[in-house]
Structure 1
Amino acid sequence: MPEQLQILSTLKEYFGYDRFRPLQQEIIDSIFDGQDNMVIMPTGGGKSMCFQLPAILLPGITLVISPLIALMKDQVDGLRANGIKAAFVNSSQQENEQQDIYQKLIDKEIKLLYIAPESLSFIDTILSQIEISLIAIDEAHCISSWGHDFRPAYTQLGYLKNRFPEIPIIALTATADKATRQDICQQLNIPHAKQHVASFDRTNLSLEVRPGNKRVEQIIDFLRDKPNDCGIIYCLSRKTTEMLADKLQNSGYKAAAYHAGIDHLKRAAVQEGFINDTIQIVCATIAFGMGIDKSNVRWVIHYNLPKNIEGYYQEIGRSGRDGLPADTLLFHSYADVVQLQKFANMSGNQEVQIAKLERMKQYADSLSCRRKILLSYFGELITEDCGNCDVCKNPPSFIDGTIIAQKALSTVARVKEEEAIGTVIDILRGAQNAAILDKGYQKLKTYGIAADIPWRDWQQYIIQLINQGYLEIAFHLNNKLRLTALSKKVLFDGQKIYLANLKEFEKKKEVVTKQTNKGAAPDLFQKLRELRLELSREAGIPAYQIFSDATLKEMEKFRPMSDEEFMQISGVGRLKMQNYGHQFIKAIIAFSKEKTAQIKKKKTSNSKGESLKETLRLYKEGFSIEEIAVKRKLASSTIFSHIMKLHATGESIDLMQFVSKADVKTIKKAKETLQNPDSLRLYFDHFEGAIGYDTIKLALTILQSEEETLERG
């Protein structure tokens, strides 16, 4: 191991720092001792330093496995700027570039080589010819199907430890729950890796969640007092990134879209512009921001609900990396949940992804301190509320929930932490279903101990206990509830628990979600009947057993678009909500969007009709196109198009007053000689721009009218 003085002087010489951040020294010492390491360190915590500094002092090459081309380039550029010999190999390079890098590796002119997992097989022969001192696997959560960003190419990386058993491996990620950490170590064949988990508490980030209505207006309002601050808006779809970037540009912001469908060079330009502050706002899909060390991002907005807490935490962590205050804002709606459920159903680990999405939804709907939820999710438990989230700033009223908590925690302990939320609630309420009776849970002391509390209230209380860190969900074990270190304080030390007052909350929610009769919609009723028939055939039961016609009629009238609204429909119970709720809500949302689009189209059509009438009125009063344009505060080209449309619909418009006879004659002559006389561009080029498009179009319309008159003769 190098001397401590040498390590600190290297830190200062190459990175400009006098001291290490928390855990960095410990991790670096462990690498020099030849140990494998698993590092969980939030975005901006200094993960890269943990392998970059050792790479300078180790005798051989450090191999860095990295998932994104943009991430590689950014890190290699940063290293070179610090005087460190680094390179990357990926699919964006020409073969001669790669050959040059391979030669430099053999000649020991490179200390760090960044490479994508897909490219490892291409350098297999090179690996046999060079000395490797360290293998770093960045974004290591990509190897785990429990993780939030699973990439199949990462699963091949387990062979590295078999091939280089004496070389230490360091796996790094910003976000991984307990199950993911364990899975990473197993798949990389480093089961005894020393684990380093940094604090996830970013106190400078404010956390806020809002319902997803009128999002664009809310975003522009949010940005009013941040005219020069830069930020990122994460969107679920490529189309949304482009729509949002356009609207922000029209509002005067330097905004750009970023997604995988955009040309590589343009994406690189957007990234460079954002890093150099020439682009203020990037509207992006989730790929943007990985590995980009930009310290002055002042805010992050999620236009849609993220698919899990890991991804959400990593994305908000790209703001405020300089330690100064930064804002985060999350919008959510049931339409987001429906879309994300569809994505989860197509994933290779459906049950886990659905459960993690549900946990994300619980965060968005939370009545507890949001920072507590995030920290407890990653196993970091705090007792004090943060004071810097929307729930803390506008808290609900609380009740003493100690006895409620003790009953729930005791039940989880009595079933030996082997059951999920639903079964725990059924035990507390004294249910007599097969799942309870077959396992003998009716004999437990807590069986039926709280039958007076409704099922949905119990669900909310347990979610609050999870959010406050007294319970956790083992996603990799069929979502079983597990006790935490804080649980014992409640069960055995008499610690008091305060839970949100659900009665008061329900009163507030009733005001917000009060159903309004939206009128008859026979088309919707028919769609709901067709959906019911489809579901009944799949289940092999009569259609009326899913929902009666009366229930469908109520859906038609009130058109519920959230769980809460759907549960208010007569004939919808808890089980039917769980089994069929999202399909019917999805159908209602789709119908409502279609109806809104039709109304918008009709309004647009009507407004266009009124606009044409106003132009016609002014024309009849003798005003010219230019005069009408000034009066109506519209472009002359717009008024010209109105005149042409009015003429086409049969209005008495004398087009000759807008064009000279000489021009008509000239254009008529050209029409007789040109090969494609219907192309306006052909005429324009023929006259070398001397006659404008509007004049050409007018003359051709006049000539067409003359020809039709002659034919009718």
Structure 2
Amino acid sequence: MSVPEIRPASCRQILKDVFGYSQFRPGQEDAMNALMGGRNVLAVMPTGSGKSLCFQVPALALGSLAIVVSPLVALMQDQVTALQLAGVAADTINSSRPYDDNVAVWRRAAAGQLRLLYLSPERLMTAAMLKALGKLSLSLIAVDEAHCISQWGPAFRPEYAALAGLSEAFPRVPIIALTATADESTRADIRANLFGGEVDEIVLGFDRPNIRLTVAPKQGWKQQLLDFVKAHPRQSGIVYCLSRKRTEEAAALLVEAGVRALAYHAGMSDEIREANQNAFMSEPYVVMAATIAFGMGIDKADVRYVFHADLPASLEAYYQEIGRAGRDGKPAEAHMLYGRGDIRMRQMFIDQEETSDEHKRRQHQRLSALIGYCEASSCRRKALLAYFGEQGEECGNCDACLDPATLADATGEAWMVLDLIERTGERYGAAHIIDILRGAETEKIAACGHDRLDGYGSGRSHKKEEWRSLIHQLVAGGLLIHDVAGYGGLSLSPEGELLLGGKRRFMARQHRPTRKERRAAEAAELPEARMDLFVALKQLRLAMAKDRGVPAYLVFPDRTLQEMARKAPRDLESFAAINGVGATKLKEFGPIFIATIKAYRDGD
């Protein structure tokens, strides 16, 4: 392919003549001007904002070879194909191509016949490639999906860490790093590792107002998924799942319901993954059930929803994943299920990582920020934007705005939290503050003298989970600032100071009890006179279970025994009406349990 003679042209002319656009999008011209002036750039721009043009246009304007670093072969090939269709001399060297093809591409690059060469970080940072490129005149180096550089980011790739040597290897070549997802600590990591701090930073707004945000308690994910997808017929969507098994279960569930659904995860063969991805990209109304292995570089404009069947890893990961919906600017939905089991699983994943304690600590802080978003009592979009350092107004396009939860005045409890945070120097995390509130006797409290504070033990009447939920909501509501990048300390925002000064109130979403708490509450609802019967039924159940060598709950769950104790059925007909009693259990256990109930009632 011949190289178009366009170097004398301006970036604006190239944008029009080569790519067919007459106007720059926000941030594009600033990024291009910096590169044309020989300066480094860190560009954080939302999905669909035209990040690739920020380096493609200057590469053509500057006239010599540009190197583009990309994490995925499929992503590289897609961009190269798009450039070639636009008449641009671009190509890639990667492991999926025959050796002779890669050699031919390199010869064209060395001969000055290419303007953009796409490489993986592993291939670029070999000694042989760095030496060979050092003999050429390079216009710029672009690092796509730059959040992969940061160990704090949502998709850290160890092979990206080697890119820290680019500035030293090519000291006079401007570098641009691009990503759609990076909070302040991730950006700081990229600045330090890739640029040594010397970089022009362009951060555009994170808001995607066309995406409706919803978070729902997980209460039987399969039925919730079915209900959601059935309410969105003839639409393309992505269902993100935590495990490969869950991914396949979700796809099978939807197929059985008559939905064109496919699965995608790292345990599948390359051929099947590629076939499923191609079907999703090219066919209408396909739903992809996938792990996070699916998504980077996916540019399908008409994805109408992203459904999280499980909790994502962090707010950064969540933002990146929901960004695959509504790229055409039309209405789309992000629907997330959120359960306590998900939190425990995510915590376990973090603790089992073979990484530093510092990394684990930051990951736990990021998970805590995500939980705060899930438990937000007011506008979710406002909470999401606040995490990325942006101010937002009530959006009117999230579940908290459209269907507000039942809130209660929690100003008093909020004041107790804020007061203790201020008294302890605004440097401790939620766990320590809760321990003080509940009067815990820990070494840390004793060492700091916090057992002598006025507020020590003032919150004993509330459970840990209730205090934790309130603190998450105070963070999401903008009254507390959570230092994710540091040691997880909580500090007061100006809004928090207003509440502490008695100048504002705080309405909180009521704590959602866990399954264990609900069971305890149901047991507590039994009349005192029936508690003895409940205990007797539990003892009988245990004996039945031991005889059969099975767990007790397989005979009857607690909830069924509670209903038996409340209703005290005296015959098989009324016993059969108890929830959890089927035909087999009625025949096998009915007479024995009825006899116990009769003995109890006859003894009243």
TM-score (normalised: structure 2): 0.78
Q: Which residue identity is paired with 1:160?
A: L
- The separation in 2 between residues aligned to 1:514 and 1:443, in whole angstroms, is 34
Q: Which residue identity is paired with 1:461?
A: L
The 5 A counterparts of 1:351-362 are 351-362=361-372
1:298 Cα offset (Å): 0.8
**1:618-640 Cα deviation digits (max 9, x unpaired):** xxxxxxxxxxxxxxxxxxxxxxx
1:501 Cα offset (Å): 5.3
Structure with greater contact order relative to length (CA < 8 Å, sep ≥ 6):
2
* 1:498 alignment counterpart: 506
Q: Which residue identity is paired with 2:380?
A: R
> Which of residues 148, 166, 169 in structure 2 aligns to 1:163?
169
**SS of the residue aligned with 1:92?**
coil
**SS of the residue aligned with 1:45?**
coil
- For the 8 Å contact 1:521–1:557, the answer to whether it is kept is no
1:408 Cα offset (Å): 3.9
- CA 1:500/1:53 → structure 2, altered by over 3 Å: closer, same or farther? same
Alignment of 1:466 onto 2:475: yes
RMSD: 3.7
> Which of residues 434, 445, 459 in structure 1 aligns to 2:443?
434
> Which of residues 388, 391, 395 in structure 2 aligns to 1:381?
391
**1:241-270 Cα deviation digits (max 9, x unpaired):** 233323323333322222222222332232
The 5 A counterparts of 1:137-148 are 137-148=143-154
- The separation in 2 between residues aligned to 1:559 and 1:359, in whole angstroms, is 35
**SS of the residue aligned with 1:328?**
strand
* 1:695 alignment counterpart: none
* 1:125 alignment counterpart: 131
> Which of residues 331, 337, 347 in structure 1 aligns to 2:337?
331
- For the 8 Å contact 1:204–1:320, the answer to whether it is kept is yes
1:414 Cα offset (Å): 4.8
Alignment of 1:200 onto 2:198: no
* 1:345 alignment counterpart: 351
* 2:565 alignment counterpart: none
**1:24-70 Cα deviation digits (max 9, x unpaired):** 22222222222222222222232222222222212322212111112
- For the 8 Å contact 1:398–1:498, the answer to whether it is kept is no
**SS of the residue aligned with 1:113?**
strand
> Which of residues 87, 103, 106 in structure 1 aligns to 2:107?
103
- The separation in 2 between residues aligned to 1:515 and 1:70, in whole angstroms, is 54
**1:418-444 Cα deviation digits (max 9, x unpaired):** 211122344556666432342344677
- CA 1:217/1:33 → structure 2, altered by over 3 Å: closer, same or farther? same
* 1:372 alignment counterpart: 382
Q: Which residue identity is paired with 1:170?
A: I
1:108 Cα offset (Å): 1.5
* 1:73 alignment counterpart: 77
1:126 Cα offset (Å): 2.5
1:522 Cα offset (Å): 7.9
**1:288-344 Cα deviation digits (max 9, x unpaired):** 121122211111111221121111111111000111100121123344334333322
Alignment of 1:55 onto 2:59: yes
The 5 A counterparts of 1:204-603 are 204-277=210-283, 280-347=286-353, 348=355, 349-382=359-392, 384-399=393-408, 405=414, 408-409=417-418, 411-427=420-436, 433-441=442-450, 447-448=455-456, 451=459, 454=462, 456=464, 457-484=466-493, 487=496, 496-500=504-508, 502=510, 515=522, 520=541
* 1:620 alignment counterpart: none
- CA 1:4/1:58 → structure 2, altered by over 3 Å: closer, same or farther? closer
**SS of the residue aligned with 1:386?**
coil
- For the 8 Å contact 1:141–1:149, the answer to whether it is kept is yes
- For the 8 Å contact 2:138–2:173, the answer to whether it is kept is yes
1:409 Cα offset (Å): 4.2
Q: Which residue identity is paired with 2:29?
A: Q
- CA 1:437/1:319 → structure 2, altered by over 3 Å: closer, same or farther? same
* 2:49 alignment counterpart: 45
- The separation in 1 between residues aligned to 2:492 and 2:191, in whole angstroms, is 24
The 5 A counterparts of 1:563-712 are none
User: Gapped runs of 5+ residues in structure 2?
Assistant: 1-5, 524-533, 560-579, 586-604
1:474 Cα offset (Å): 2.3
- The separation in 1 between residues aligned to 2:101 and 2:78, in whole angstroms, is 18
Q: Which residue identity is paired with 2:301?
A: S
Moved more, 296-305 or 34-43: 34-43
- The separation in 2 between residues aligned to 1:35 and 1:489, in whole angstroms, is 43
Moved more, 342-351 or 315-324: 342-351
Q: Aligned residue pairs: how many?
A: 534
* 1:647 alignment counterpart: none
1:386 Cα offset (Å): 2.1
- For the 8 Å contact 1:102–1:126, the answer to whether it is kept is no
- The separation in 1 between residues aligned to 2:373 and 2:543, in whole angstroms, is 37
- The separation in 2 between residues aligned to 1:179 and 1:52, in whole angstroms, is 28
Structure with higher Rg: it is 1
- For the 8 Å contact 2:40–2:200, the answer to whether it is kept is yes
**SS of the residue aligned with 2:10?**
helix
- CA 1:394/1:521 → structure 2, altered by over 3 Å: closer, same or farther? farther
**1:445-473 Cα deviation digits (max 9, x unpaired):** x7549547735343322211111233232
Q: Which residue identity is paired with 2:386?
A: S
- The separation in 1 between residues aligned to 2:112 and 2:8, in whole angstroms, is 25
**1:366-397 Cα deviation digits (max 9, x unpaired):** 43322122112211132x32222222222134
User: Gapped runs of 5+ residues in structure 1?
Assistant: 526-551, 561-595, 604-713
> Which of residues 168, 178, 187 in structure 2 aligns to 1:181?
187
- For the 8 Å contact 1:141–1:180, the answer to whether it is kept is yes
- CA 1:195/1:411 → structure 2, altered by over 3 Å: closer, same or farther? farther
- The separation in 2 between residues aligned to 1:54 and 1:490, in whole angstroms, is 51
Q: Which residue identity is paired with 1:27?
A: A
- CA 1:558/1:107 → structure 2, altered by over 3 Å: closer, same or farther? same
1:173 Cα offset (Å): 1.8
> Which of residues 7, 14, 17 in structure 2 aligns to 1:13?
17
1:233 Cα offset (Å): 1.2
1:95 Cα offset (Å): 0.7
Q: Which residue identity is paired with 1:25?
A: E
* 1:136 alignment counterpart: 142
- For the 8 Å contact 2:383–2:477, the answer to whether it is kept is yes
1:399 Cα offset (Å): 4.7
* 2:98 alignment counterpart: 94
Q: Percent identity?
A: 38
**SS of the residue aligned with 2:18?**
helix
1:360 Cα offset (Å): 2.7
1:204 Cα offset (Å): 0.8
**SS of the residue aligned with 1:477?**
coil
Moved more, 417-426 or 311-320: 417-426
TM-score (normalised: structure 1): 0.67
- The separation in 1 between residues aligned to 2:117 and 2:449, in whole angstroms, is 59
Moved more, 4-13 or 56-65: 4-13
- The separation in 1 between residues aligned to 2:334 and 2:515, in whole angstroms, is 25
Q: Which residue identity is paired with 1:386?
A: C
**SS of the residue aligned with 2:427?**
coil
**1:104-132 Cα deviation digits (max 9, x unpaired):** 11111221222111112152332123211
